[in-house]
Amino acid sequence: MILPKAWVRERKKEYYYRKAKVEKYRSRATYKLLQVVKKYRFIKLGDVVVDLGAAPGGWIQACRKIVGDSGFVLGVDLEQIQPFDSSNVRTIVGDVTDPQTIQQIKEFLPHPADAVVSDVSPNVSGVWELDHARQIDLARYSLQIAISILKPKGNFFAKVFEGDMLNDFVKEVKQHFAFVKLVKPKASRARSAELYVIGMRLRQAM
Ligand SMILES: C[S@@+](CC[C@H](N)C(=O)[O-])C[C@H]1O[C@@H](n2cnc3c(N)ncnc32)[C@H](O)[C@@H]1O
């Protein structure tokens, strides 16, 4: 029997939604990060991680789980994030497009970050070109923040949308990181234009 595609998609969506509820994660997006980290290991025990566009906090929970008691996680979002119990998790209200946010982040970090992850997304308008351009723009701001706060050989992971501007953005990431890869996590809806770019091992500035 061939199952209708829409039905399969809905079932998958439901699956991660329910799983997040049962496992007490704040978002189904949590699984996208967990799946990719499991394969590429760009966040490790003891790491200092900055999560951009972090509300409601599913990725923060995933990062905290990976870095354990000895690491540190800072979540940044335009929206206030409900606090967490862990003493090594902090959140701030900040706009990735505001140059002052970099300084604001640095004040919270015990040392330069080991990893910067970004799930920052604009409010989707439904106009493909516009949403694509906005998403790449936000990913570019996230890249600039990453370059400013990562330690040498640090890692970067950010959401992008497929489209004309993606190639140029990937080229930019390649200028800064030794290993670069585009991935589509299983937990991401097949129909969505969303992809993630991994940049590993920040090159030292010349
Ligand atoms: C898809 S949600 C992130 C979900 C999150 N990863 C999780 O697992 O809970 C995207 C977030 O990006 C935030 N955002 C959008 N534009 C932003 C900006 N300029 N600066 C900071 N955050 C922004 C939104 O407020 C929203 O909370």
**Residue 181, beta-bridge partner list:** 198
Contact 156, 92 (CB under 8 A): no
CATH hierarchy code of domain 29-202: 3.40.50.150
How many angstroms separate the alpha carbon of residue 206 from the centre of ligand 1?
Answer: 32
What pLDDT sits at residue 105?
A: 98
Percent of the chain with pLDDT over 70: 93
Give the residue from 119, 138, 135 showing the smallest Cα distance to 188.
Answer: 119
What are the boundaries of each domain within the chain?
29-202
In degrees, rounded to 5, the angle at the alpha carbon of residue 67 between the alpha carbons of residues 148 and 84 is 90
What pLDDT sits at residue 2?
A: 59
In degrees, rounded to 5, the angle at the alpha carbon of residue 139 between the alpha carbons of residues 30 and 171 is 115
What's the pTM value of the predicted model, to 2 decimals?
0.94
Q: Over range 149-166, report the average pLDDT.
A: 97
Catalytic residue IDs:
159
Q: 10-24, 101-115, 174-188 — which is least confidently predicted?
A: 10-24
Mean pLDDT score of the chain, rounded to an integer?
Answer: 94
How many angstroms separate the alpha carbon of residue 99 from the centre of ligand 1?
Answer: 17
Is residue 8 scored above 90 in pLDDT?
Answer: no
- Which tens digits make up the pLDDT trace of 56-88? 999 999 999 999 999 999 999 999 999 999 999
User: What residue ranges line ligand 1, CB within 6 angstroms?
Assistant: 26-27, 29-30, 53-59, 77-79, 95-97, 119-121
